[in-house]
């Protein structure tokens, strides 16, 4: 998704605002028809096992049941501005295995 539409950006922004983390990140999952079927924000980790609470990871946990084939992620800064972000290597690796493409928003 090179240029997500306004409603998609708004949905990402609102979802990221629900995050309780210092770095607020959200992820939307889209099916093959391009319909958004799931939205998640990242969650704080309380154990060192870690890795399970990235927004894109939470989406991927339900990817199969919901038919997600593409994920769009973003981070919002202090002033609410949207920032592009890359998935971490672990999430990227899982996405590759699932055949899911992870995209981010363009730089503002």
User: Residue 55 to residues 4, 25, 104: CA-CA distances in angstroms?
Assistant: 18, 6, 13
Name which position in 12, 25, 73, 91 contacts Zn ion (CB under 5 A): 91
The least CB distance from residue 2 to Zn ion, in Å, is 22
The least CB distance from residue 5 to Zn ion, in Å, is 25
33: Cβ–Cβ under 8 A, 6 or more apart, which residues?
Answer: none
Draw the binding track, 52-71, toward Zn ion (x: CB under 5 A; -: no contact). --x-----------------
The helix/strand/coil state of 56 is helix
Draw the binding track, 20-59, toward Zn ion (x: CB under 5 A; -: no contact). ----------------------------------x-----
Under rule CB under 5 A, how many of the chain's residues touch Zn ion?
3
Closest C-alpha to 60, from 15, 105, 30, 22:
30
Burial 10-43 (b: 16+ CB within 10 A, else e): ebbbebbeebebeebbbbbbbeeeeebbbbbbbb
Does the protein bind Zn ion through residue 88 (CB under 5 A)? yes
Does the protein bind Zn ion through residue 75 (CB under 5 A)? no
> Which residue of the chain is nearest Zn ion when measured via CB?
91
List interacting residues with Zn ion (CB under 5 A).
54, 88, 91
């Amino acid at each position: 998704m090179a240029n997500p539409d306004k409603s998609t950006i708004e949905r990402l922004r609102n979802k990221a605002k629900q995050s309780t983390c210092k770095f607020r990140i959200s992820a939307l999952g889209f099916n093959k028809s391009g319909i958004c079927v799931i939205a998640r924000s990242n969650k704080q980790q309380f154990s060192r096992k870690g890795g399970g609470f990235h927004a894109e990871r939470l989406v991927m946990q339900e990817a199969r049941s919901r038919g997600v084939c593409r994920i769009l992620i973003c981070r919002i800064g202090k002033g609410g501005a949207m920032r592009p972000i890359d998935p971490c290597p672990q999430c990227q690796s899982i996405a590759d295995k699932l055949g899911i493409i992870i995209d981010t928003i363009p730089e503002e």
